[in-house]
Structures are given as C-alpha cells and as structure tokens.
Amino acid sequence: MNPEFAPLFKLGRAERLQLVEDLWDSLAQEDGPLPFPEWKHEELRRRKEQLLKNPSLGLTWEEVKRQVRAQDD
C-alpha cells in the first residue's frame, strides 16, 4: 500500500465507498479511452487468431457458465 494513501484506509466504510464512487465518476467524466497496454492488444490478437484457426479450442458462453456453477457446488 502506498503510504501516502494510508489515511484513506482509516476512513469509515461508508466514506471509503463514497470515495470510490467519486473517483469512478471522475474517470467517467474524462474524455478518451482508458489506457490499454499494447501487450494486452497483442495477447487478444493472438488468442483470436488461435480461435479462428481452431474453433474447438473455445467454449460457448453456456459451457463457461456451467463450469463456473459447478465450481460453486
């Protein structure tokens, strides 16, 4: 944790939640896209290329939901 922010963690739960909401709202008001590192773009391109070459590698949304729900049991 950044020591500069330590006093923020001493705020009450409601105050911290309000701070998070205020920070989120300030981000939403800014123009332009959020930063997205080039390595993430490259990884997404790589995964898309793999999936297009071999569609059986991927899972349907239904399969993903089924697997996640099975983990909860």
pLDDT for 22-56, tens place per residue? 999 999 899 888 889 999 999 999 999 999 999 88
SS3 category, 33: coil
Q: How confident is the model at residue 17 (pLDDT cuts 50, 70, 90)?
A: very high
| Gap between the Cα atoms of 6 and 11, Å rounded | 10
pLDDT at 63 over 80: yes
Domain boundaries, the chain: 1-34, 37-73
pTM of the model: 0.48
Start-to-end Cα distance in the chain: 35
Contact 60/66 with Cβ under 8 angstroms? no
